[in-house]
Chains A and B, each alone.
Chain A
């Protein structure tokens, strides 16, 4: 069982990852990533 712990953990985070995609969170990351946030890098 202990040997399989990483597999279960991987599957758990895979489920989170896929759920995030289904909920459109990848698009949220994209929207933030394509916009320069000047205050985030200490300018402005």
Chain B
């Protein structure tokens, strides 16, 4: 399953960034697929991106909200919220583990660079709420310029995926842009470097401490069709699930719910559990580790 997930991650990252013919005169894709919100953090200013980033699009809606309301124009973000909600209702936060290119980037850093790993300080996971509500919603809606427009605060001041996928490639493509680089870009570059270093010693720190998109999908974890179940009665308390979990969901010791907003549905715990205490339900079909497709694990109504 883990190899299959890695394969899906690479294919997904390639599909999201499948514009291969890139020229300085035509730096980004401008075709109709840009209407589609990709279910992952993939900057739409990336020269190779063929779809839009839902988080960037959502911030643009928030930044234009007051002006649109004053002018009586539609622009409440229903299309973006609807597309995120449909995905969340089916699989919850699974896109983080299976589709997100920046998640794959962090996975690779953590796995390939073999240095002693550090424990993750759990309270940092509350940072996701700060970044979602403050940087994606409150600041873009309420801090407005003279013309009545807000800014995309998360993209502009935080997002390391934008620096990696768009900022650096665009600077490489267009020498004229390099003269426009200032303190803001260097501060974002510093954020990117810090996250790269952090990703080497902690698994998926951006997903755990910052990502507002992951939190939006995570809100659906408890109510989505795809559900993980943990049977404490047959748990052998080996805690292998907690050790292997990339986002540190501590459900075996009761600190977290197995379907908490932290869970990215990578299914590593499900595959590893020696006693079959973790099951996966999709609609009314239940599967247990090591018994995939077994009739004895079909839920009875």
Contacts and interface: CB of A to CB of B under 8 A. Distances in A.
A3 B181 CA distance: 53
A23 B52 contact: no
B40 to A, nearest CB: 15
A19 B52 contact: no
Contact of B184 (A5, A21, A42): A42
B225 A6 contact: yes
Contacts of B184: 42-43
A44 B171 CA distance: 12
Contacts of B231: none
Interface stretch (B15-23, B98-106, B161-169, B233-241): B161-169
Contacts of B166: 36, 41
B200 interface: no
Q: DSSP class of B's interface residues: helix, strand, loop or mixed?
A: helix
Contacts of B254: none
Interface residues of A, number: 35
A17 B223 contact: no
A35 B189 CA distance: 22
B78 A41 contact: no
Closest 8 CB pairs of A and B: A20-B79, A17-B82, A13-B85, A16-B82, A20-B78, A23-B74, A33-B34, A25-B79
Interface of A: 3, 5-6, 9-10, 12-21, 23-30, 32-34, 36-44
Interface of B: 27-30, 32, 34-35, 37, 43-45, 51-52, 56-57, 60-61, 74-86, 88-90, 151-152, 155-157, 159, 162-163, 166-167, 170-171, 177, 180-182, 184-185, 187-189, 220, 223-225, 283-284
